[in-house]
A = this chain, B = another copy of it.
Amino acid sequence: MAQRFRHPAEYYTDPENSIGYLARVVFRSFSRLLERGTLTHDVSAGQWRFLRQLWRQDGITQRELSERVGMREPTTVVALKSLEAAGFIRREKTDTDKRKTYIYLTPHAKRLELVLAPMNAEIHEIATRGMTDAEVATLQAMLRRVVENLADETRTLSVLSDVQA
């Protein structure tokens, strides 16, 4: 049980050393700056996240959309309600499987991609100011690595509690 830690616990008392803290600040700053732009088109940051996925591909189910956006399904339900009320999407049911709901963008929402998608690129420019392309690529790769590591752990824990159940 001689677990070697990279740093002692005291090291992380400074949030500036904590990846979790830094990720939170990055996420929130990103969100807020992005929303400054999108709100002029009556799109909130939360709605934008769903639109981004739907711009890539619409006509998918809510569950599929939830996974791609990285939100739980109740969150998606609420978000889609607001998107539907705002006239950005419509839902469609089929007879082949009456459980599923397919989400489609309205023409209005499709047109918005031209205006709103570049805003994310712009925030990226600001966020990575003064960094080389290689540095940015490294940052992305390492963040993906962290995401994967944490997802692995979450899966492991889920399996364990499944077994216990």
Contact = CB atoms under 8 A, between A and B. Distances in A.
Contacts of A14: 56
Contact of A140 (B9, B19, B24, B34): B19
Given A55-B13, A139-B139, A145-B131, A19 B153 contact: no
Contact of A150 (B16, B29, B55, B154): B29
A41 interface: no
Contacts of A143: 19, 22-23, 26, 139
B128 A146 contact: yes
Given A12-B120, A120-B12, A127 B146 contact: yes
A41 to B, nearest CB: 15
Contact of A125 (B5, B21, B136, B140): B5
A127 B56 CA distance: 29
A29 to B, nearest CB: 4
24 contacts: A5-B122, A11-B121, A12-B124, A13-B56, A15-B69, A17-B140, A19-B30, A19-B124, A19-B127, A20-B31, A20-B120, A21-B49, A22-B143, A23-B23, A23-B24, A23-B143, A26-B146, A29-B151, A29-B154, A127-B150, A130-B145, A131-B145, A139-B139, A139-B142
Interface of A: 3, 5-34, 36, 49, 52-53, 55-56, 68-70, 117-118, 120-131, 133, 135-136, 138-140, 142-147, 149-151, 153-154, 157
